[in-house]
Amino acid sequence: MIVDLYLRKSTKDEGRSVERQLAELTEAAGGENLTIGRVFVDPDFSASRYRRRERPDYAQLLQHIQAGECRMLGILEASRGSRDLTEWSALLDLCRKLDVRIWVRSHERVYDLSRRRDWRALADEGLDAADESEKISERVRSGKRKAAREGKPPGRLAYGFTRTYDEKGNFVAQLAHPEQAPIVAEMVRRVAAGEALFAIAADLNARGITMPGGSPWAGRFVRQTVLRPAYAGRRVHQGADVSKAAWEPIVDVDEWRKAKAILTRPERRSTTRGTALSHWLSGAVLCGGCRRSRLVAKTQGASGRPMRYMCEACGKVFINGAHLEDVVERMILARLAQRGVRLRPKIDDAAVRAAEAEIAKLEERLDEHYAEASKGRLSARGLTVVEGAIMADIEREKAKIRRADAGQGPVTAEPAEIIAGWPDYPPEKKRRVAMWMADLVVVPALRKGPGFDVRRIAESRWSGDPKTWGELYSAGRDTT
């Protein structure tokens, strides 16, 4: 009989990798006269009700069962299926309805859910798994509350601090980082003195001081850093200031309070207003000054219209937002109206690099299994199943590369349809079209005076075109 397998491992599940589960199930299947069919794999995915993301292969497994293509489902143990009681019960009901049997390797038996006792046994297993998940969650929350009351630091190490541990790896103390702490204190001091966030970020970048990971500072990141109560020696839990911290402040507390009052006063408009995009070129235009960051919209007054687009990283580039939007819009619509124009979407380099890195990891894992098989530690049957599962993962990553090569593009790819729908497009969709069609660049101002200097966007180019707009259109004159 053919058995389809479901393999899952949570990120904190030690010693039970999906490869090991697969090898164990494959070996056991041979002794049970079972033939391995499809293998569904969710590595590093939680199955509790506290999970933050859904399991893609689990969803495919349900579709596979609903399509009537599964006669037996194999899992290593019940908790691999789910630790969410509602979800587990729904799976049992689906399998009972479609007469799908469940083979649980750890029980060394196959369950026929049409039998009341079999259904009850697996239902109890699901209850135990869900209860264990609740116990773990309770312990974690209790530990966090206790740490907060005692002023101990939360899990992630914040910029500006360093930590010490004993020989067993237990936390000992949180201390000021010798290089980062003075930078935090400087930010707080400059904000308290009334200096602009973007100016502070630009100065830090000019001095070669980067954020953790090497990214350049931006005004919004300076703001987020300055507002952290940890620097003033306060412990916050779930948004509430609960106690004095167990570590010493690394900034002047009075200055921090003054800086916080400045950054949180009601009349101050934050540059971050939720996830909805307000101005369609925000994040779509490369700064021609630092060549590292993208321009963001800065608004003024109650109208919400863009006062200007600017680079928060270097502070060298800022431009009238209404003029820039107007000129770019006219360029895009004119381009779409050209007869015979071919829209060549860009390749998503980041997605391609990520997929290529994942393929390399999967191929390395596959080589390890080949080595195990050559030493007799993995049977031919086990190698066949493992190879099939990993090759399926490799194919999924290759499909991502193909999608990136094809380009996502806007929802409507026909030029005439884009032109017709443009007036009603929301900002997010306009930005997608702009980024799909062009590599936009704005350089620092070349002259002073009113009007829009088109030379500032001359280094932009249409996607896939080696020539810049300046080369294509001889952009040497001003326009208003």
The CATH number of the domain holding residue 218 is: 3.90.1750.20
Asked whether residue 398 falls in the same domain as residue 421, the answer is no
Asked whether residue 65 falls in the same domain as residue 195, the answer is no
Distance of CA 244 to the CA centre of its chain: 33
Asked whether residue 252 falls in the same domain as residue 296, the answer is no
Tokens of 339: 């007869």
Geometric angle at alpha carbon 85, from 79 and 87, rounded to 5°? 90
Q: What is the pLDDT of residue 399?
A: 63
Asked whether residue 8 falls in the same domain as residue 52, the answer is yes
- Contact predicate 436/345, CB 8 Å: yes
The domain tally of the chain equals: 4
Asked whether residue 310 falls in the same domain as residue 427, the answer is yes
Fill in the amino acid letter for 382: G
Enclosing domain of residue 183: 174-268
* 162 assigned to some structural domain: no
Instruction: Single out the residue in 145, 161, 193 at which a domain terminates.
Output: 145
Phi then psi dihedrals of residue 322, to 5 deg: -65, -40
Asked whether residue 187 falls in the same domain as residue 258, the answer is yes
CATH number at residue 37: 3.40.50.1390
Asked whether residue 307 falls in the same domain as residue 440, the answer is yes
Distance CA 154, CA 290 (A): 35
Asked whether residue 251 falls in the same domain as residue 400, the answer is no
All residue ranges of the chain with pLDDT < 70 are 10-16, 44, 46-53, 133, 136-156, 169-171, 213, 236-243, 266-277, 299-306, 340-352, 370-376, 378-385, 388, 392, 399-413, 449, 474-480
Q: What is the pLDDT of residue 294?
A: 86
* 155 assigned to some structural domain: no
Return the exposure string of 25-52: e unless at least 16 CB atoms fall within 10 Å of the residue's CB, then b: bbebbeebebebbbbbbbbebbbbeebe
* 277 assigned to some structural domain: no
Asked whether residue 226 falls in the same domain as residue 138, the answer is no
Reference 103, options 172, 230, 229, 4; nearest CA is 4
Reference 85, options 40, 25, 128; nearest CA is 128
Distance CA 322, CA 326 (A): 6
Asked whether residue 432 falls in the same domain as residue 329, the answer is yes
Q: What is the pLDDT of residue 99?
A: 94
- Contact predicate 113/119, CB 8 Å: yes
Asked whether residue 315 falls in the same domain as residue 242, the answer is no
Asked whether residue 464 falls in the same domain as residue 387, the answer is no
Q: What is the pLDDT of residue 459?
A: 92
Question: Exposed, middle or buried: residue 293 (CB in 10 Å: 0-12, 13-18, 19+)?
Answer: buried
* 279 assigned to some structural domain: no
* Residue count of the chain: 480
* 480 assigned to some structural domain: no
Q: What is the pLDDT of residue 93?
A: 92
Phi then psi dihedrals of residue 299, to 5 deg: -100, 165
Residue with tokens 């350089």: 443
